[in-house]
Structure 1
Amino acid sequence: MAKSIRKDNRGIVIAALIVACWSGLLLYLLRFPVDFTSPLPYLFMLVQTHLYTGLFITAHDAMHGVAAPGRPKLNRFIGTVTAFLFAYNWYPRLLPKHHQHHRHVATEEDPDYHHGSFFPWYYSFLKNYITWWQIVLMAITYNVLQVFFPLENVIMFWMVPAIIATFQLFYFGTYLPHRGEHAPDNRHKSGTQSKNHLWAFVSCYFFGYHYEHHDKPYLPWWQLYKAKS
């Protein structure tokens, strides 16, 4: 089994595809003529949001060593690049926090958990992960981009998708599965979406199947649906 994992290059290809689609579409959209009366810009914005989410999900796979199985340096490189492209997140900072979440899920030692309602939890989540230097780098990038591209394009296709994707990751990957009380026999203290692979992919790359992820963290996102009974 270990031998087959070492030879599995699919995660590398999928990661490269997500980065290529995100960067290629962004370059196209930054010059796209925006007509606010047309549904097309809003559709593109949602697609770009989905690709932003894919960047972070890929970084998350790297945190579990499954973006490039058996190749730790390449796996870390993929995680570092994809996390950095998503609003300048720093992979070495995210990695220990995420494993702390898995070790202490839904407890006071869980950095992702907050005992409270949605917006206080969301604020706690952002405060725990966003750093001042990310904000500075985002501000610099925003000001540089608007020199070369129309302001509405920068906002609609670079800034807003990142914000929505952050909300998407929190809502489907943290808040929904970990809110409320869980049964004593639920050893992962995690809920899960109903079985619907299309919606699970569209909503958050199958991470609504969250109990399954905690139960089988060695499965990459594109195989997680197989764990859903």
Structure 2
Amino acid sequence: MFTSLQKVYQGENWIGLLIAVIIISLWFFSLFELLAIQISDISWFWLIFSILGRTYLHTGLFILAHDSMHGNLIPNNRILNHLIGRVAVTVYGFLPYDHCCTNHFNHHRYPSQSGDPDFYGSVPNPIFWYFKFIREYFPMRSLIIFLVNMIIIAWGLTTIFHVAFTNLIFFVLVPLVLSSLQLFFFGTYLPHHQLYENPYFSPRLQSSYYSNLWSFFSCYHFGHYHWEHHEYPKTPWYKLHKIHSK
């Protein structure tokens, strides 16, 4: 039995590590390729497609970090698991990994309650809720670090490597903003705003007709299968849809 469990954990290690390598590699590859293009040479369709693709990969960085917080990314190697998580949130937006861990564990401990940093405790106005969500993960110190690093990186890329500033806006800044909206809307607002209809907190989305493909592309299964994540937090994101079917 121990041997069987060991094989399962080793398999999870390979899957988690492979997914991390794919997402991080695609993030950097797409960045280098898109920073080098002339935006005026591509159509609006490909510009929008590139921005949305970068947004999805950017969200993927946070999903990697999220799974590492739960020890799900590489279950049998704690050091590598948290190392990849730290790298992922740093690339995402120079976020402090330990602070993110504390916030997320409080979210699981007090879901949709006053101690939940992801929850807006009065009338669920999505705009106010979004800015509270951002403030919780971007405290003033982190925001200053983010702005300073972004200014230095932008100066280096535009001055030394002659990258067009518009490329940085379209392929770095815009995907970051859209990614934060994606994480908030699909991963936080949609599942948790139902508290006002169910005071006992059941963050399962009301509709069960979303396809697994839409669930995957909307927010890596964390929108539609959010209840499953709360009930089975040690389940990797790519297996949440299987928990739902049981």
TM-score computed with the length of structure 2 as normaliser: 0.87
1:160 and 2:168 matched: no
2:9 is aligned to 6
Do 1:6 and 1:71's aligned partners in 2 also have CA atoms closer than 8 Å? no
Q: Structure 2: which 5+ runs fail to align?
A: none
Corresponding residue to 2:217 among 202, 216, 221: 202
Q: Structure 1: which 5+ runs fail to align?
A: none
Alpha-carbon distance in 2 for matches of 1:37, 1:85 = 28
2:227 is aligned to 211
Q: Which amino acid aligns with 2:88?
A: T
Q: CA deviation at 1:142?
A: 2.5
Q: Deviations over 1:134-174 (max 9, x none)?
A: 22222322232222211111111111101100110011111
Alpha-carbon distance in 2 for matches of 1:185, 1:107 = 10
Alpha-carbon distance in 1 for matches of 2:174, 2:229 = 28
State the number of aligned residues.
Answer: 227
Moved more, 177-186 or 164-173: 177-186
Across the aligned residues of Structure 1 and Structure 2, the Cα RMSD in angstroms comes to 1.6
Q: CA deviation at 1:228?
A: 2.0
- The runs of at least 4 consecutive aligned structure 1 residues that moved more than 4 Å come to none
Larger Cα Rg: Structure 1 or Structure 2? 2
Corresponding residue to 1:29 among 15, 25, 34: 34
1:31-180 alignment runs, 5 A limit = 31-35=36-40, 37-115=43-121, 116-130=124-138, 131=142, 132-147=144-159, 148=161, 149-180=163-194
Which structure is higher in helix share? Answer: 2
Report the secondary structure of 2:44's partner residue: coil
Do 1:101 and 1:112's aligned partners in 2 also have CA atoms closer than 8 Å? yes
Q: Which amino acid aligns with 1:61?
A: D
Identity over aligned pairs, percent: 36
Do 1:5 and 1:70's aligned partners in 2 also have CA atoms closer than 8 Å? no
Q: CA deviation at 1:184?
A: 5.5
Moved more, 84-93 or 37-46: 37-46
TM-score computed with the length of structure 1 as normaliser: 0.93
